[in-house]
Each structure stands twice: as C-alpha cells, then as structure tokens.
Structure 1
Amino acid sequence: MEPDSLPTEVILTHPRQSLGNVTLDWMPQPGNYLDLKGKTYAVLERRHRYQLRSGRYRLQKVALYVQSASRPVESTLVDGRWVIGDATCVYNARSELIRCAINPSGPCDRCRDYQPVET
C-alpha cells in the first residue's frame, strides 16, 4: 500500500449493501461526490476503522456511506468549500448536501422565490 493511499469500503445506505473496496488517494468528506463503476454517489458519512498493532491503534481503513446522486450543475464557492446552488440567495442552505427548503431540486436561476442576501 502506498503511503498516500487509503483503503476504503464504499457502502450504499439504502438498500444497505457494500459496493466494494477501493483505494483512494484523497480523504473524502461528507458532501463530496465519488464516481465508482460508472455511477456517481454522494458521500453522507465517513467512519474510520482502527486496528491495534504493537500497542498502538493504526488506521486500518475507512468506511464511506453513500447514496446514489447526480452531480449538481449549480455550485458556488463559499469560504473555501463548494455548496449546491446560488449562495447569493437568502434561502440557500449553504450546504454540500441540500440546496434550499423552498426549491430543493433547483434550478436557482429560474426560482420565483429568489431573494438576494442583504449585506
């Protein structure tokens, strides 16, 4: 195993099933998207699994809990992270997982409830 590679088990949340084991060279965070076997998944949760070796716990692998998703077309960079939708709207959730409560499926550019954030 290479020093920057991370053994990862990808688990689909519903219906619960393992999609397999992969080796990643990046640390996936909730809200990131992962392409696996021609499909795109949204990362919902990440769990670390450790093993005791020589009196020390060492990271053995990571479990990613994912759901099937499509990459959002609209995204905005806010404080160094990408959020779904137009972050200049008052109703935007500023989240990697949900756009807003009023128009969660989007798109933002034709939303009749759009209201700009007051500065």
Structure 2
Amino acid sequence: MEPDLLPTEVILTYPRQSLGKIQLDWMPQPGNYLDLEGKFYAVLERHHHYQYKVGGYCLQKISLYVQAAKSLDEQSLINGRWVVGDAECRFNAHSEILRCAVNPEGPCEGCRSFEARN
C-alpha cells in the first residue's frame, strides 16, 4: 500500500512568493527543514486547508511558510530538538531558525566570539 501523499504548497515568506507545489509523505512541523531542489528551507508555519465531503471534512492541502536556510551542517540536539549552531556556545540562541546574536550568519567553527556555556 502506498503512503498517503499530502499536496503541499511551499511559500517563501520574504519576499513572499510560491516556490511550487509538491507531494509530501511526512507532516513537517515548524522548526523542521525542507530540501527543495537542492536548497534548504526552515519551516516557519504550517496551514491546513480542509474541504467538506459527505461524512465530514477532509484535509485537502497544506501550505508551508518557509525561509531560506544556509546549510544543515551546524546543528546541535537540545532536549530532543535540533537547533542551529554549536549549542555549547554561550551566545547560541537555542533556536531552530536563528544561530546567535553575535554571529547569526555563522559558521560557529572558528568564531572569535565563542565562549563555552557554564
């Protein structure tokens, strides 16, 4: 049996534009990353669109609002979720989207502002 494929529209938040429609076999959550034609995007929001059919509502499609992400190379696992950058640094934001205030573009390796977290 084939898994259910979800019709999904991927929308870039800034500048607002549709990146296309795809079929997904998984349910992306905000904070997940999506590889679309070799480019990486961070999922910011997910909207469900339902259609009424006899017997109830059915999920018709999903809209994913994303922002461009540089790379998935530098990630750390904190309390069961992935964050951008080296979480051992005092300045790390512990966020899926933002690395830190000091060096938001990265990379963490070789950063002059690196300070170990106490």
List, as ranges, runs of 4+ consecutive aligned residues in structure 1 with deviation greater than 3 Å.
none
**Which stretches in structure 2 are left out of the alignment for 5+ residues?**
none
1:49-92 alpha-carbon deviations (Å, 9 max, x no partner): 11222252222111011223322321111112211111112211
Q: For 1:68 and 1:105, how far apart are their aligned partners in 2?
A: 12
Name the structure 2 match of 1:46.
Answer: 46
Q: Distance in 2 between matches of 1:71 and 1:81?
A: 17
Match of 2:64 in 1: 64
Superposed, 1:70-89 pairs within 5 Å as: 70-89=70-89
Q: Does structure 2 conserve the Cα–Cα contact (< 8 Å) formed by 1:33 and 1:71?
A: no
Distance 1:80 1:25, change over 3 A: same
Query: Where in structure 2 are the equivalents of 1:1-119 lying within 5 Å?
Result: 2-118=2-118
Percent identity for Structure 1 against Structure 2 = 64
Could you list the runs of 5+ residues in structure 1 that have no partner in the other structure?
Answer: none
**What is the distance in 1 between the residues matched to 2:68 and 2:82?**
19
Change (3 A) 1:108 1:15: closer
Q: Distance in 2 between matches of 1:37 and 1:112?
A: 34
Q: TM-score, length-normalised on structure 2?
A: 0.84
The normalised TM-score by structure 1 is: 0.83
Q: What residue identity is the alignment partner of 1:4?
A: D
For 1:71, the aligned partner's letter is S
Answer with 74-83 or 51-60: which moved more. Answer: 51-60
Q: CA deviation at 1:3?
A: 4.6
Report how many residues are paired.
Answer: 117
Cα contact 2:3–2:25 (8 A) shared by 1? no
Structure 1 residue identity aligned to 2:25:
D
Root-mean-square deviation over aligned CA pairs = 1.9
Q: Displacement, 1:10?
A: 0.9
